[in-house]
Amino acid sequence: MERNIARLRTRLDGLGVALRPHLKTAKSVDVARRVMTSPAGPATVSTLKEAEQFVAAGVRDIIYAVGIVPSKLPQVLALRAKGADVAVVLDTVEQAQAVALASRTAGTRIPALIEIDCDGHRSGVLPTDKQRLVEIGRALANGAELRGVLTHAGGSYTARGAEALQQCAEGERRSVVDAAAIVREAGLACPVLSVGSTPTAHNATDLSGVTEVRAGVFMFFDLVMAGVGVCQIDDIAVSVLATVIGHQREKGWILIDAGWMAMSQDKGTSKQEVNQGYGLVCNSAGVPYADLIVADANQEHGIITVRPGSGGVLPNLAIGDRVRILPNHACATGAQHRAYHVVRGTSDKVEAEWPRFGGWQ
C-alpha cells in the first residue's frame, strides 16, 4: 500500500497536479491519513456516510462525487456547519436550482461542480453542450457557488494497452478543459478542473489545465486493475485470509471458509483476457500459486480449482492450512469486512488493526 501511494504521488508531482484521493475504496480513517496530503484533505467520497466519518476525523476539504438530490442537501449543510468545505456534484439545471435554493435558504453558498461526460460511461454533461453548461452555471450563481467541472473516465476500465489508456486520459483531460472554457466564456468562474480514474491517473502524459486528479483503488489495486495493465499482481495490497476446510479430490476441489460473503460477488475479470473467478489464490505469505483460483463460491464456502485449460497443478494443502485470496474488486471485497489486519511484506505478524466502515446515510 505504501509503495502504491508513493508511486502515484510521485507521478502526479511530475505532472504538476494535486492528488485528491477517493476514499470510497478504503473507507478507513487510518488509510485516509496515509494517502491524503494533509490531515484536512483534500479527499473525495461516494456517500454522505463517508463524509460524516471523515469530517469527524478532521477532514475538511471533501467532494461528494455522486449526483446530488434535494433530500441530501440538509446533510451537506450540516457538515458544512461543522467547518467542512463539502462540495457537491450535479449535471442538470434542476439540481443546480435545488442547490441554489438551499443555499439562499441557509444563508450560505454550497459549492458545486458540474459533472462532465468524457466517454459515455455514466452521467454528466457533454463537454460540447454549451447551452446546458451555461444554464447550469447561471442557475448555481443564483445563491450557490460554481466551484468547477469534474469528470471520471470510467470507460478506461475496459481499455487495454498503454496507447489506449493514454487516449482515455487525454479524452478525460480535454473534456474538462473544453467545458471550463465554455463556462468561463460565459463570464462564470471555474477554478477547479477535476479528473480521475486509477487507469488514467497512471497513464496520463499531459495534464495541462487540470488542477487535481481523483483516484481510489490505486492504494490497494486488485485483479481488475492488473487485468487492465495498471499494476502487477505483486502490487495488490489487500487480500482475504482463508482456511482450508475440506477436499473433493475426485473433482479437483479444495474448499475454504471464504465464500461470496468474504470475497463479494464481483467477478469483474470475467470479461478480461484472464478470468480470475472470485479471486487468485496465494500461499499464506502472499505468493500466488500458478493458475489457482476461487472458481465458485457459496455464502461461506469457496471452491478452489486449477484454472480451466491452464495445465496447472492443485497444491497439496491440508485441512487447516491458510491461503490468501487476492480480490477482483478491492472496493467490493473490503465492504464485506469490519477492519484491515495490517501486515508488512510476507510477514504474518499483525502490526495493527485499522477499522473500516460501510453503509449509507
Whole-model pTM: value is: 0.94
Angle at 202 between CA 43 and CA 189, to 5 degrees: 50
* C-alpha span between 254 and 257 (Å, rounded): 10
Instruction: Tell me the pLDDT band of 270, cut-offs 50, 70 and 90.
Output: confident
Q: Where are the domains of the chain?
A: 2-219, 233-355
Q: State in Å, rounded, how far the first CA of the chain is from the last one.
A: 28
Neighbour count for residue 337 (Cβ, 10 Å): 14
Predicted local distance difference test score (pLDDT) of residue 273: 87
Q: What b/e readout covers 234-269, taking b as 16+ CB neighbours within 10 angstroms?
A: ebbbbbbbbebeebeeeeebbbbebbbebbbebbbb
pLDDT digits (tens, 9 = 90+) for 133-178: 999 999 999 999 999 999 999 989 888 999 999 999 999 999 999 9
C-alpha cell at 127: 463537454
pLDDT digits (tens, 9 = 90+) for 66-102: 999 999 999 999 999 999 999 999 999 999 999 999 9
C-alpha cell at 193: 478542473
User: 2-219: which CATH topology?
Assistant: TIM Barrel (3.20.20)
Task: Give the homologous superfamily in CATH for domain 233-355.
Answer: D-serine dehydratase-like domain (2.40.37.20)
* C-alpha span between 291 and 312 (Å, rounded): 6
3-class DSSP state for residue 90? Answer: strand
* C-alpha span between 212 and 196 (Å, rounded): 8
Task: Identify each DSSP E strand in the chain by its residue range.
Answer: 18-21, 43-45, 61-67, 85-90, 111-116, 145-151, 192-195, 212-215, 240-248, 253-256, 280-282, 288-297, 302-306, 322-326, 339-342, 352-355
